[in-house]
Structure 1
Amino acid sequence: MRLDSRLSRVLHVLLHMNKDRSNPMTSETIAAMLGTNAAVIRRTMAGMRKAGYVTSEKGHGGGWLLTCDFSQTSLLDIYQAVGSPQLFAMGCDNEHPNCVVEKAVNNAIQDAFSQAQQLIFNRFADISLAMLSDDFIERYLDAIS
């Protein structure tokens, strides 16, 4: 099963874009960086634009520009902007919806998933893009020293 990496990939792009907010990044540049095609990037970044985190300029010298305040934007915000991908690959069987055993099992599993999902969302909400950027800078400085 292929993992949904949209969140990590978009965060990667945003950190690169933050290094030079005045120079737009083209979809082609981003696609080359991530090893994908420009159409995938345009589709993903369109969700980011709709949410107000980036803007785009067409034509020569155009591309994607950050518009968000990194200190006010959380991982949860970006997760929602990329379409709130499903967090868990597992789910419940519902072949026998009237079976009380299945109901008990599904209830326990769904309750656990719901609690785990809320913990993840709370953690995502606590991490700002500025915190992520600071961590990147610290790791980069450690790597070059």
Structure 2
Amino acid sequence: MRKDSRLSRVLHVLVHLDVHEQPVTSETIAKMLTTNPVVVRRTMALLRECGYVAAVKGHKGGWSLSCSLSDITLLDIHRALGERSVFTIGLTDEHNNCLIEHAVNRALDGAMKDAEALLLQRFGEVTLADLSRDFENNYG
């Protein structure tokens, strides 16, 4: 199963933007992430709509932060990306008449909802400034 790393990649980019004094182009970000600049622009546009980044056009243009890293949480970015669920585990509905399937789905659904609520709560407690400090303390 393929992992969805979009949240992690976007968090990576935002901490990088904080370090750069000049705006960073979509092409530069795309090289950093080994992706296409169009994907970067689409993703960054979602963040711009929420007020986390700004785009400057023209020579020396690119993306920059619109607010402090301490004002942005992991949950903010998760929501900005339009992510619905943090889990890719799905429930089966192939045997709608099977009572065992219903019991299994109820148990899984309840456990996943509880786990997701706890994870999203934690996402709301961690700011991008926390990530930046962790980087500085361990690698800077």
Same fold (TM over 0.5): yes
Structure 1: segments with no counterpart, 5+ residues: none
What per-residue deviation string (whole Å, max 9, x for no partner) do you get for residues 56-115 of structure 1? 011111110101221121000011111215422221111232432222111110000000
Question: Residues of 2 paired with 1:109 and 1:103: CA distance?
Answer: 10
- Give the structure 2 partner of residue 68 of structure 1: 67
- Give the structure 2 partner of residue 77 of structure 1: 76
Question: Residues of 2 paired with 1:105 and 1:35: CA distance?
Answer: 40
Question: Residues of 2 paired with 1:90 and 1:49: CA distance?
Answer: 30
Alignment of 1:1-145 (within 5 A): 1-20=1-20, 22-84=21-83, 86-141=85-140
Question: Residues of 2 paired with 1:70 and 1:12: CA distance?
Answer: 12
Amino acid aligned to 2:25: T
Matched length: 140
Tell me the SS of whatever aligns to 1:64. strand
Question: Residues of 1 paired with 2:93 and 2:28: CA distance?
Answer: 45
Structure 2: segments with no counterpart, 5+ residues: none
TM value normalised by structure 1:
0.90
Runs of 4+ more than 6 Å apart:
none
User: Cα RMSD between the aligned structures?
Assistant: 1.3
Tell me the SS of whatever aligns to 2:55. strand
Indicate the percent of aligned positions where both proteins have the same amino acid.
Answer: 52
- Conservation of the 8 A alpha-carbon contact between 2:85 and 2:116: no
- Conservation of the 8 A alpha-carbon contact between 1:97 and 1:103: yes
- Conservation of the 8 A alpha-carbon contact between 1:48 and 1:82: yes
Question: Residues of 1 paired with 2:90 and 2:32: CA distance?
Answer: 34
Question: Residues of 2 paired with 1:35 and 1:9: CA distance?
Answer: 10
Question: Residues of 1 paired with 2:138 and 2:119: CA distance?
Answer: 24
- Conservation of the 8 A alpha-carbon contact between 2:92 and 2:105: yes
Tell me the SS of whatever aligns to 2:69. coil
1:136/1:129 CA distance change after superposition, 3 Å: same
What per-residue deviation string (whole Å, max 9, x for no partner) do you get for residues 5-32 of structure 1? 1111111111111013x41000001011
